[in-house]
Structure 1
């Protein structure tokens, strides 16, 4: 009986041996964003990315329509108009993206320094040299 019990314990220990694994910590998918202004800025940038992609798709569709018009003047004009308005839309999107990025950086990033190197004081306030 003791021999059976010893074999049972040995089999149990070998079969159900738990090895501890040092698993890697998962990174925060938000990237450590704690400020709501940064979240709003990221949402606005994502919206501009989507709108720019849509304008580019319309630009490509206008070119496709123009190429496949087979000499039909109405389709050629429609394709040219789509390309012209898509190019105008892309220009407006790029300018508005630049302006919004400038404003977001000014609000979130403090607007840059007035010259000199920024240093961090004991209170966490950034001041120029």
Structure 2
């Protein structure tokens, strides 16, 4: 098992080293002619990443809110059964902790984007 893990690590390192020059040739904007040819947007890569991060965090927040609702429903319909109440409490606490983590991640990304954007002058 360790040989397999070592081999997978070696392959991963080799692939990342081979892809490193491609990252160095990245551009800040996409040429509109290429964007039209390949059906891409013409926004900057930073704006695209910001959009993806906001979309993913919004989806995760929606999942956390649904879990809070499920936990609350389970608690209300437990009818005094301690096992069901404990399960509902675990779901509620995990969902609330997840929601706090998601909101913290969102705040950190907004802060990092603002700080790095003003430091480089690109955002």
Distance between the aligned counterparts of 1:75 and 1:59, measured in 2? 15
Partner of 1:92: 101
Partner of 2:14: none
Describe the SS at the equivalent of 1:71.
coil
Q: How does 1:60-75 map to 2 (within 5 A)?
A: 60-75=69-84
Q: TM-score, normalised by structure 2?
A: 0.60
Distance between the aligned counterparts of 1:94 and 1:67, measured in 2? 27
CA-CA distance at 1:70 after TM superposition: 1.0
Distance between the aligned counterparts of 2:119 and 2:44, measured in 1? 16
Aligned length: 82
Give the strand-richer structure, 1 or 2.
1
Distance between the aligned counterparts of 1:104 and 1:35, measured in 2? 14
Describe the SS at the equivalent of 2:118.
coil
Q: How does 1:1-129 map to 2 (within 5 A)?
A: 34-107=43-116, 109-111=117-119
Unaligned stretches of 5+ residues in structure 2: 1-40
Unaligned stretches of 5+ residues in structure 1: 1-31, 113-124
CA-CA distance at 1:106 after TM superposition: 2.6
Distance between the aligned counterparts of 1:111 and 1:64, measured in 2? 47
Q: Bigger radius of gyration, 1 or 2?
A: 1
Q: TM-score, normalised by structure 1?
A: 0.57
Give the helix-richer structure, 1 or 2.
2
User: RMSD in angstroms over aligned alpha carbons?
Assistant: 2.2
